[in-house]
Amino acid sequence: MKQVLRKYFRSMRATDGSSTIEFVIWFPLFMTLFLTSFELTFYGMRSVLLERAVDLNVRGMRLGTKRPDNIQELKENICEETMLFSDCERELTVDVRRINTLSWNLPTGPIPCVDRADDFKPPENIVYGPGGGGDLLLIRACMVSNPFFSTTPFVMGLPRDVSGGVSLVAVSTYVNEPS
């Protein structure tokens, strides 16, 4: 019995493997921090690129140099200006509405996004109204994309849809130049 206790106490005082324990404790924390910062950077880049593409198209529509005939053409124009999106035209939803300047009724509720769980079905309430001269228009674009790491939305507190995608949103307003 004495020998067993002596071996037990000797093993408790040993320092073999102590750095392994520290590694096992700290490595997941540092990797989570690193991967989250990578994902956040990429998420920010995609968000900025979507905002830029919408702003370039809004500028063209405001000046009358780039006036698409329908919503599909507007989506194609926005997708031409973006990078880092694999299937832009399927995952992008664009909503353009004329705002009545007498009542200032703005759309309420969430911005309509593509439902990827239902085979990329666009929302039903999409409106495209290019408006006339002097009209105030609101353009809302929503892009649904997958995060690199499935745990990132939980770490960053991002809302996910049913398919696991995260929504990137760009909103802008413009006034058509009078004819």
Whether the predicted pLDDT of 7 surpasses 90 = no
- Per-residue confidence (pLDDT) for residue 159, from 0 to 100: 73
Mean residue pLDDT of the chain comes to 80
What phi and psi values does residue 120 have, to the nearest 5 degrees?
A: 55, 40
Write the CA distances from 62 to 43, 94, 107, integer angstroms: 28, 16, 21
- Per-residue confidence (pLDDT) for residue 115, from 0 to 100: 72
Whether the predicted pLDDT of 122 surpasses 60 = no
In tens, the pLDDT along 46-91 reads 999 999 999 999 988 887 787 788 888 888 999 998 887 878 888 8
Return d(Cα 77, Cα 100) in angstroms, integer.
26
The amino acid that residue 177 corresponds to is E
**Cβ 149 vs Cβ 34: under 8 Å:** no
In tens, the pLDDT along 129-172 reads 666 667 888 889 998 888 877 776 666 677 777 777 888 899 99
